[in-house]
Amino acid sequence: MPMISPKPPQRKRTFGLSRILATANNRTFNRPGANKRKSMIRRAVAAVEAAISLPLLLLLVFGSIEIANSIFLAQTLSFASYEGAREAARPGATAAQVNDRVAQIMHARGIYDYSLTITPQPTQTTPRGTMMTVRVETAMSALSTHSTGLTSEHMTAQEVSMVKH
């Protein structure tokens, strides 16, 4: 008796929702106009996938931009307070010199609304060995081009202390 080998199963060429619909309505796709129905189903699946993934993608992109802005802001404040403390620690430094140095850095980075605190106030007669502290503070939204409302009320600050020369 001759052996009859079974036919290997054929692979389905559709994926996702269209495959489920194709197996459920297999007779529908054998009729005339079935290709048009297939393409309509594929477009519908693509529209659903876009509707689900696009908001998540936008959230990821804009969230990354806000995080990058906050990191840049923290680095700017850190650099400005360091340079201010360095200026305050020099012999014969004055508060005006410290203000000018911090303003120079902050304005170069595009930040105009900030507060500066120098403790104690440097004068020509401030004794050597005095701990000079410079604190620079600004709103978290200082670099944002749009207001999301999440960071507009929050403040961030950096503080550096150095011993006067």
138-164 tens-digit pLDDT: 998 887 766 666 666 789 999 999 999
pLDDT band at 165 (very low <50, low <70, confident <90, very high): confident
Instruction: Please tell me the predicted confidence (pLDDT) of residue 15.
Output: 58
How many angstroms separate the CA atoms of 25 and 43, rounded? 18
Q: Which residues contact 155 (CB under 8 A, 6 or more apart)?
A: 137, 138, 139, 140
Token look-up 């401030």 returns 126
pLDDT at 108 over 70: yes
How many angstroms separate the CA atoms of 13 and 45, rounded? 15
Amino acid occupying residue 84: G
Token look-up 């796709």 returns 29
Angstrom CA distances, 134 to 33, 47, 84, 115, 116, stand at 76, 55, 6, 11, 7
Q: Which structure tokens are listed for 6?
A: 């079974």
